[in-house]
Structure 1
Amino acid sequence: MAGNDWINSYLEAILDVGPGIDEVKSSLLLRERGRFSPTRYFVEEVITGFDETDLHRSWVRAQATRSPQERNTRLENMCWRIWNLARQKKQLEGEEAQRMAKRRLERERGRREAVADMSEDLSEGEKGDTVSDLSAHGESNRGRLPRISSVDTMEAWTSQQKGKKLYIVLISLHGLIRGENMELGRDSDTGGQVKYVVELARALASMPGVYRVDLLTRQVSSPEVDWSYGEPTEMLPPRNSETLIDEMGESSGAYIIRIPFGPKDKYVPKELLWPHIPEFVDGALGHIIQMSKVLGEQIGDGHPVWPVAIHGHYADAGDSAALLSGALNVPMLFTGHSLGRDKLEQLLRQARLSRDEIDSTYKIMRRIEAEELSLDASEIVITSTRQEIEEQWRLYDGFDPILERKLRARIKRNVSCYGRFMPRMVVIPPGMEFHHIIPHDGDIDTETEANEDGKSPDHLIWAEIMRFFSNPRKPMILALARPDPKKNLTTLVKAFGECRPLRELANLTLIMGNRDNIDEMSGTNASVLLSILKMIDKYDLYGQVAYPKHHKQNDVPEIYRLAAKTKGVFINPAFIEPFGLTLIEAAAHGLPIVATKNGGPVDIHRVLDNGLLVDPHNEQSVADALLKLVADKHLWAKCRANGLKNIHLFSWPEHCKTYLSRIASCKPRQPRWLRNDDDDENSESDSPSDSLRDIQDISLNLKFSFEGDKNESRDNFDGSLDSEDRKNKLENVVLTWSKGVARSAQKSGSTDKGDQNSNAGKFPALRRRKHIFVIAVDTDPSAGLSESVRKIFEAVKEERAEGTVGFILATSFNITEIRSFLISERFNPTDFDAFICNSGGDLYYSSLHSEDNPFVVDLYYHSHIEYRWGGEGLRKTLVRWAASTTDKRGEKEEHIVVEDEETSADYCYSFKVQKPEVVPPIRELRKLMRIQALRCHVIHCQNGRKINVIPVLASRSQALRYLYLRWGMDLSKVVVFVGESGDTDYEGLLGGVHKSVVLTGVCSSASSQLHANRSYPLTDVVFYDSPNIVRTTEGCNSSDLRASLEELQIFKG
């Protein structure tokens, strides 16, 4: 391809894709222009969305090459690269279109099935009424910003909470969080979310009825960050401390609590925190339990004061909040801030990276799964705008706006939802602190001129900005954002540069974070900044554009004041803005706004009516709006007045009123055995000797016979009740009976306090063990499991004889299968302190009091995990799914999944898998359940030959946290033994503060196939280099296991 200088025209078009500086009309669509340019068409239509910086650098290098032949070769390579990018983009667009079409069909099918299930008990008239109610409901809410702002509502809520002192837990994991001098913009993890959660914590703690607010985050003790981020605790003093000082208690107020997890000496980005989430959960659980006891002594009459809600912010904190909510059995709230599916769609549209490359860079699939789990677990999802609900959350399997309205209508009618649940989406715009805002008396022009020279210490930032301008008295157009491509600052500079009237009337100020050296900035941010600097030079904007290198957080109010003083305008030109907190800040300082019409600014503008909305892709639209506000002083004054008049609607007190009212609407939940109700008059009745030993006979006799035959008493009991009623009545009978026995014993004096304490020490034995070994090896019960158990027993033979080491068996088998396994392999039930059965769906303890029934069921555990359990409605849907999974490769269809009624339980529905090699991936079943609003935890187990479906927040790892909460079992003294692979809940067993021993060679083949079709790789969530994880040699013996335990410092070598 000789003499290919023609490509220069393409490269020049890349650098200058818009019209000339004096051209009045502009449009991104070439077909709408008067003349057609093939060069511009190629650039704008074919490679739109690609990073121009790389192409420009290549072009510069090619132009600088002296040799014509080498130069032509480089230019030719660039031409092929552009062509290849265009083909790649079309291919990715086609694949994504197919994927979206499939998703729409799946959602519609799931919605139809859910509606059909729920329509069984409605008459035709009721069905029609429901539809009309839903449509009316949708119309009535459309376009409104739902807020609870009336004084009557708040007074009613306050009267209900009178005498209550609430404990609220907020979680925000990534970034650098501290109360003062926040380093916003330091990196992509330390942005607006950091400021939001700190101010939310401070504002909530100042509300009546709230005693304490903890903001949990990561402790960072790294030399690359300030020492303050390594402090375990930081108090957030209230802004109005003078009025609240008398009302504060010993531990009241707002606090930042920094939990150590992950690499101790590194500040790592959020994408690399996923493997360390379980460690945070264990640390946070310890803090909350301790704080609940402290608050109980202060304000709870000795009873623990549990959080009224746990609120996760962003996907990583949402994942953590879900696990903590399940471990503590308290309500969960979630705020996404930025959503993974929305980000994935944007990146795919740009077509710079494939789906696999996006996942590798951003760990996007793990993030999406965390957001789906947050939908499963949350009572309430808080959003900033309605756009977030209608355009972003609806992309998720776990949320369907149409089905959500149907479920809400059924709840209002007091009609069963057949086990289906949907979180309540609530729009609560972020609040703002007004303490630092200086109100203006009269017109801004009347402000004293004493400090106009900018030399006052309070106005140093004014001088820093004004030094850029040749005429600093012109109105200032202010933009405050990171130099990120999605913030669209280049379009703003281009619009300003190409509009001569605007340049003559106004100056432009760009506050783009802090920087020392452009070469030290991240590649993307540096590219944006360089593009802006080149445009400033291209349009000769020197003396008209300010871009200071540094500013402090407390300088921001002064920057707004400067812009308002000059009768300027604030602009947010982002392509999509999730909310737009800076728009509220600008309005509070009396600045009219120009903002993108995509996202949160639409809702803000609807409330404040203080500016104009524009298409961020259209430079002419941006320039026209800015010029209109700057030139029309009457319009400017009207927008300013509107903003100041309505800004109180975005104050933190207003936000907290709505927030606390929503929390009050949640059904209170807390650990069942610690509830302070009238039935539990004496705390001794909750001791382990009473609450469990007294249950054992009736609970097991009603449930099953270990000889394998159904008990007659159960048959009679089951005959008159359906599954849900049977479960509830069984639980009530057992609990009432056990409490009566306990009280009778106390009244008769047969059990004195000393005897109770003695029994409490013996049952369960977990309390007195120095170490607990959890055997969670997922192999066939008659082969590898028994061999592993014997080796572990032999490795700690002396400690086992002394009673300092206890054992827990954690498997996917039910208690009958465990009983058979123990008998066949000649183990004694008392060799183990506890049995986690059905993949975490049941919990039993071994008992010394009965040889016939050597197991005691923990019914409190059932009440702990039953949150959002779908019951019979879930079972019917699972059976229907199993019937649809057939193998059609042979002469006749064969069912590959069938219900296993023998091994199913009230909180575990089991299914046999006849052909594991052809069964659909477990993620497909999980997706199907979520689409139908059925919340559950689906686990593929026993080498792929069984599927267990248990409550959504139940698992083997969560059962260990329950034992910590209930019996004080120190998780840091727990050792979990696992194989090289295992069931699909395997990842949960490796993370946390406990130690893990991986038995090399065990579960290395068949089980590993279960993880082949995961949504994300196991390495994204398991930190195999952790010092808490040790691998044995293949075919290890008891001596090798002992050495592994010594390496973990369980025993001294």
Structure 2
Amino acid sequence: MELGRDSDTGGQVKYVVELARALAATAGVHRVDLLTRQISCPDVDWTYGEPVEMLERLSSGGADDDDGDESGGAGAYIVRLPCGPRDQYIPKEELWPHIPEFVDRALSHVTNVARALGEQLQPPPSDAPATALAAPVWPYVIHGHYADAAEVAANLASALNVPMVMTGHSLGRNKLEQLLKLGRMHGPEIQGTYKIARRIEAEETGLDTAEMVVTSTKQEIEEQWGLYDGFDLMVERKLRVRQRRGVSSLGRYMPRMAVIPPGMDFSFVDTQDTADGDGADLQMLIDPVKANKALPPIWSEVLRFFTNPHKPMILALSRPDPKKNVTTLLKAYGESRKLRELANLTLILGNRDDIDDMAGGGGTVLTAVLKLIDRYDLYGQVAYPKHHKQTDVPHIYRLAAKTKGSVHQPGSCRAVRPQAAAYGLPVVATKNGGPVDILKALHNGLLVDPHSAEAITGALLSLLADKGQWLESRRNGLRNIHRFSWPHHCRLYLSHVAAYCDHPSPHQRLRVPGVPAASPSMGGGDSLSDSLRGLSLQISVDASSDLNAGDSAALIMDALRRRPAADRREGSGRALGFAPGRRQSLLVVAVDCYGDDGKPDVEQLKKAIDAAMSAGDGAGGRQGYVLSTGMTIPEAAETLKACGADPAGFDALICSSGAEICYPWKELTADEEYSGHVAFRWPGDHVKTVVPRLGKAEDAQASDLAVDVSAGSLHCHAYAATDASKVKKVDSIRQALRMRGFRCNLVYTRACTRLNVIPLSASRPRALRVPVDTVGHRPRQGGGARRRDRGHRPREAPPGAAQDADPAGDGLARQRAARPRRGRVRHAGRRGHGLPQHRHAR
């Protein structure tokens, strides 16, 4: 792995890859897919462009071979999906506009693999009809790592009804706090450089959907996640108590926090070498003439910097990132004569060829390091090699241990402390973040303020000058390191997933028929709609039946799916004369035309509809139409009639800002199956009276934001806003709701005279996927009139973004019954970005 190449290739990448490999080697896990971005760029290794790469399982040093899956699991794979320009390596801060595309392609991949695994693992019985299809095998859990992957995972989990887990690694609010504390950048500059507001909102979105958040320490929960609107530790504890007592949570929800120590691959640790370190003669190790075996090349690369290589080594290993605060360590070392006389300093700061060519702030950090070395005249005492490989890292730790040195880790990387302990190295680490609980478990070092040079100097002198304390820290680390093995981590992880990831929403099923051969007239393409052509959604809800009962449950669902004719509504006769059939294309009329009074502007809407309809002239029924609007179903039908258009001529009406889908050729009522899907985490009437209280300005009257019963529905609370100046913005209302545990989407519509509060998994883009995937066509946006739905557009959306836009359209239904207890664990990679190269078995 090319760790340290830039700020996007830090220790989290190694953590995620090793986690995938370790999970694949755990009993009961059949397959692990690590989704990341595909890059075909001459500036990076060719392996980044490989669509699929198989990861070899961890050796016996990193996982329990005895616990392997006796059925023979498929293993772990890096799956690289095209996202944005394929020929460019894009920094994570610039990836946000491409997240929706990544979600689409990830959904296509998941669907295809689910179908293939179903045919492989659960084939229909021999006496089944020839047309019988195998039940798809859906992921057991979807895990998002880092902010952008958390947003991807939230959309996938919402689409597939698969539990979501997230790990923040490095949190946006904490980073913003640290940058402001350093005083090097101001708010607007931080926003422009790091897109910090977009990153924080992605993390909030992850909290909205996640059922479990994995952390390394309790301190991370209290002091880092506690900064977010979507998590309050006290509220979470109260809701947990209510759940334990069987008392209603009143529509509120907080994700569960699971403290799971990070894992480590011990396969590279030479235990015999570590055990005899105390009595080894360093001269025998660093003198090739006296050594009995070949020495690692990286040793000579490090030792060539030192005038006296026999002194203990202070090792700092991190990316050249300003937040790692390497310069404070260098100042502490340069200003302490006693520390300079006692020890050497080794800085492993990624890889570089030319400092001027380094991306991001890496060049700035290295320049500052060189200036400090020159200022304090540290030549012969500080090593800063230009290159190292991932396989060199164990040898670097071994060398530091042989010199009876220590590790200084100013950052919050979760892997460094356990790695140091495995090699018998005491640690000086920051008192912020993960190191607090990790060092409490290992007892192998000291915690300091990373911004205090005096504190760093004192801690290093305490460990290096006192042989007794050094030996005690070394023994403690070696004795307690078993707590951080990957097998232990995976067992804890899967047990927490089994305990926490089972929400009380209605059981739902998703059946995916096989893909028929494409018609020659339909053409080719690589869009999601092409790859999902023929995908048909059949959702059914069963609130009382046991869906784990196998075939009997399926029969119950099929019985519920067939409603008696007497139960059908009056408009159902429309289906006898018209049905959309199989479309080759679908034109979406996504317009809301209103006057200043909030009433539909019939003239403008008629022009838009006529333009859309004329675009389909001559298609011969191969093109369908969908109206996407913030109006209710009756309002949309009446408006269409006023425009001279027959509602039954539309394949679907997406109404109430995505809370409802209606098939007017069938009946002018909300589709029950879609309603069952969006019910996930919907607070219902519990939030109905809360919104007016939180949404009004201080000087507002009760009538300025009042419930509009006529415009509401089962999954849409509508509020009439008579004076826009007396009503808060959507972001403010959403923040207040999140802080109280309510998870909703909010949209202003009808020229900001109506506020729609809809379920978390409902929106106009998400609802669009249902008719798109049902008939299998390429969607096209139509209409050009004024668009007045506001509030749901993502922050920093590009100009011209669709109304109600969110990170992905994901109206696919959820399935829980057919999911195996430990089937597949799907990880969205740290950034939907190309993971560093791995030369494993393919």
With normalisation by structure 2, the TM-score equals 0.82
Q: Give the corresponding residue for 1:373.
A: 205
Q: Give the corresponding residue for 1:858.
A: 671
Q: Give the corresponding residue for 1:360.
A: 192
Q: Give the corresponding residue for 1:872.
A: 685
Q: Give the corresponding residue for 1:636.
A: 470
Asked if residue 655 in structure 1 is aligned to residue 489 in structure 2, the reply is yes
Q: Give the corresponding residue for 1:837.
A: 655
Tell me which of 792, 799, 803 is aligned to 2:612.
792
Partner of 2:661: helix, strand, or coil? strand
Asked if residue 190 in structure 1 is aligned to residue 9 in structure 2, the reply is yes
Amino acid at match of 2:264: M
Asked if residue 291 in structure 1 is aligned to residue 116 in structure 2, the reply is no
Q: Give the corresponding residue for 1:510.
A: 347
**Bigger shift: 342-351 or 280-289?**
342-351
Post-superposition offset of 1:653:
0.9
C-alpha distance in structure 1 between counterparts of 2:467 and 2:694, whole Å: 66
Q: Give the corresponding residue for 2:225.
A: 393
Between structures 1 and 2, the one with greater helix share: 1
The 3 A distance-change label for structure 1 pair 266 and 763 is farther
Tell me which of 721, 729, 740 is aligned to 1:932.
740
Q: Is the 8 A contact 1:428 1:658 kept in 2?
A: yes
Number of equivalences: 741
Tell me which of 329, 339, 364 is aligned to 2:161.
329
Post-superposition offset of 1:907:
0.6
Q: Is the 8 A contact 1:202 1:254 kept in 2?
A: yes
Matches within 5 A, 1:202-217: 202-217=21-36
Post-superposition offset of 1:557:
0.3
Asked if residue 261 in structure 1 is aligned to residue 83 in structure 2, the reply is yes
Tell me which of 645, 667, 677 is aligned to 2:502.
667
Q: Give the corresponding residue for 1:615.
A: 449
Q: Give the corresponding residue for 2:314.
A: 477
C-alpha distance in structure 1 between counterparts of 2:91 and 2:383, whole Å: 31
Q: Is the 8 A contact 1:358 1:364 kept in 2?
A: yes
Partner of 1:526: helix, strand, or coil? helix
Q: Give the corresponding residue for 1:27.
A: none
The 3 A distance-change label for structure 1 pair 467 and 761 is farther
Amino acid at match of 1:908: C
Post-superposition offset of 1:1022:
4.9
Post-superposition offset of 1:538:
3.1
Tell me which of 769, 773, 776 is aligned to 1:961.
769
Amino acid at match of 1:775: V
CA offset digits 1:536-558 (Å, max 9, x no partner): 23333222221111111100000
C-alpha distance in structure 1 between counterparts of 2:652 and 2:82, whole Å: 30
Q: Is the 8 A contact 2:575 2:665 kept in 1?
A: no
Matches within 5 A, 1:478-627: 478-522=315-359, 524-572=361-409, 574=410, 577-627=411-461
Q: Give the corresponding residue for 1:1038.
A: none
Q: Give the corresponding residue for 1:737.
A: none
Asked if residue 1019 in structure 1 is aligned to residue 798 in structure 2, the reply is yes
**Bigger shift: 664-673 or 625-634?**
664-673
Amino acid at match of 1:1018: A
Q: Give the corresponding residue for 1:440.
A: 272
The 3 A distance-change label for structure 1 pair 824 and 523 is closer
Post-superposition offset of 1:785:
2.3
Amino acid at match of 1:319: E
Matches within 5 A, 1:720-869: 765=580, 768-780=582-594, 781=600, 782-799=602-619, 802-847=620-665, 854-855=667-668, 857-869=670-682
CA offset digits 1:472-511 (Å, max 9, x no partner): 1222111111232322222222222232332223221111
Asked if residue 240 in structure 1 is aligned to residue 77 in structure 2, the reply is no
Post-superposition offset of 1:881:
3.9
Tell me which of 83, 88, 101 is aligned to 1:279.
101
CA offset digits 1:192-241 (Å, max 9, x no partner): 11111111111111111111111111111112111110111011110239
Amino acid at match of 1:833: D
RMSD between superposed Cα atoms in Å = 3.1
Post-superposition offset of 1:968:
6.1
Post-superposition offset of 1:578:
3.2
C-alpha distance in structure 2 between counterparts of 1:948 and 1:480, whole Å: 51
Q: Is the 8 A contact 2:7 2:320 kept in 1?
A: no
C-alpha distance in structure 1 between counterparts of 2:460 and 2:74, whole Å: 47
Asked if residue 418 in structure 1 is aligned to residue 418 in structure 2, the reply is no
Q: Is the 8 A contact 1:865 1:954 kept in 2?
A: yes
Q: Is the 8 A contact 2:605 2:643 kept in 1?
A: no
CA offset digits 1:665-721 (Å, max 9, x no partner): 22178753448655965979978xx977737863647xxx99xxxxxxxxxxxxxxx
The 3 A distance-change label for structure 1 pair 636 and 354 is closer
Matches within 5 A, 1:994-1033: 999=784, 1002-1003=785-786, 1007=788, 1010=790, 1016-1019=795-798, 1022=801
C-alpha distance in structure 2 between counterparts of 1:637 and 1:307, whole Å: 47
Partner of 1:895: helix, strand, or coil? helix
Amino acid at match of 1:836: I
Amino acid at match of 2:795: Y
CA offset digits 1:242-277 (Å, max 9, x no partner): 958995778711111111111121111111111111
C-alpha distance in structure 1 between counterparts of 2:801 and 2:14, whole Å: 30
Q: Is the 8 A contact 2:746 2:757 kept in 1?
A: yes
The 3 A distance-change label for structure 1 pair 695 and 463 is farther
Post-superposition offset of 1:619:
2.3
Post-superposition offset of 1:875:
1.1
Q: Give the corresponding residue for 2:534.
A: none
**Bigger shift: 943-952 or 250-259?**
250-259
Q: Is the 8 A contact 2:657 2:756 kept in 1?
A: yes
5+ residue gaps, structure 2: 124-133, 512-539, 541-546, 595-599, 804-842
Q: Is the 8 A contact 2:6 2:319 kept in 1?
A: no
Amino acid at match of 1:937: N
Partner of 1:327: helix, strand, or coil? helix
| Percentage of identical aligned residues | 49
Tell me which of 211, 224, 236 is aligned to 1:404.
236
Q: Is the 8 A contact 1:869 1:936 kept in 2?
A: yes
Post-superposition offset of 1:414:
1.0
C-alpha distance in structure 1 between counterparts of 2:349 and 2:510, whole Å: 54
Q: Is the 8 A contact 1:764 1:845 kept in 2?
A: no
The 3 A distance-change label for structure 1 pair 685 and 762 is farther
Q: Give the number of the structure whose alpha-carbon radius of gyration is greater.
A: 1
C-alpha distance in structure 2 between counterparts of 1:508 and 1:404, whole Å: 45
The 3 A distance-change label for structure 1 pair 770 and 245 is farther
Partner of 2:314: helix, strand, or coil? strand
Partner of 1:320: helix, strand, or coil? helix
The 3 A distance-change label for structure 1 pair 265 and 558 is same
CA offset digits 1:396-433 (Å, max 9, x no partner): 11111111111111111111111001111111122111
Tell me which of 37, 40, 60 is aligned to 1:218.
37
Partner of 2:718: helix, strand, or coil? strand
Q: Give the corresponding residue for 1:110.
A: none
Provide runs of 4+ in structure 1 moved above 4 Å: 241-251, 445-451, 454-458, 668-671, 673-687, 690-693, 759-764, 884-888, 1020-1024
5+ residue gaps, structure 1: 1-181, 707-758, 849-853, 979-998, 1025-1053
Amino acid at match of 2:108: G
CA offset digits 1:275-306 (Å, max 9, x no partner): 11111111100000111111111223421111
Amino acid at match of 1:269: P
CA offset digits 1:596-655 (Å, max 9, x no partner): 222221111100001222232332332222222222222222111110111010111111
